[in-house]
Amino acid sequence: GAVVSQHPSRVICKSGTSVKIECRSLDFQATTMFWYRQFPKQSLMLMATSNEGSKATYEQGVEKDKFLINHASLTLSTLTVTSAHPEDSSFYICSAIRTSGNPPIYNEQFFGPGTRLTVL
């Protein structure tokens, strides 16, 4: 299978601090990963596309200086929420693309288990 992990699963922090969330593809290499945010009883909202070895691409309305993304290897992308505030409290989910098939199928995404961030 294709397994994606996230760490931590849950984090509580004080307002003004920074929090780093890791997303790892455990059994495949992922040149592209995605970060989503999900507020209670709402849908997944795409925040940014994380590309290995290059800058992330942010969706409209997402502050790149607040949500720092680093994709330093083919199996790891990190999201850092800088100067977190209570309104940043949310469920953050990553996903990774795995190419499969012959010819390659690029659309298949595998999701991590999510990280629940609570900012006090």
Partner 1 sequence: GENVEQHPSTLSVQEGDSAVIKCTYSDSASNYFPWYKQELGKRPQLIIDIRSNVGEKKDQRIAVTLNKTAKHFSLHITETQPEDSAVYFCAASGGYNKLIFGAGTRLAVHP
Q: Is there binding between residue 113 and partner 1 (CB under 8 A)?
A: yes
Q: Is there binding between residue 8 and partner 1 (CB under 8 A)?
A: no
> Which part of the chain contacts partner 1 (CB under 8 A), choosing from 14-22, 71-79, 82-90, 107-115?
107-115
Q: Is there binding between residue 95 and partner 1 (CB under 8 A)?
A: yes
Q: How many residues bind partner 1 (CB under 8 A)?
A: 22
x/- site string to partner 1, residues 31 to 70, per CB under 8 A? -x-x-------xxxxx--x-------x--x----------
Assigned token pair, 26: 């455990």
DSSP string, 60-106: TT--TTTEEEEEEETTEEEEEE-S--GGG-EEEEEEEE--BTTTTB-
CA separation for the pair 26, 29 (Å, rounded):
8
In the DSSP assignment, the letter for residue 10 is: E
Partners of 114 in the beta sheet?
Answer: none
Strands 90-97 and 109-111: antiparallel
Of 14 and 41, which CB lies nearer to partner 1 in the complex structure? 41
Assigned token pair, 62: 């997402």
Q: Is there binding between residue 93 and partner 1 (CB under 8 A)?
A: yes
Q: Which residues bind partner 1 (CB under 8 A)?
A: 32, 34, 42-46, 49, 57, 60, 91, 93, 95, 97, 106-107, 109, 111-114, 116
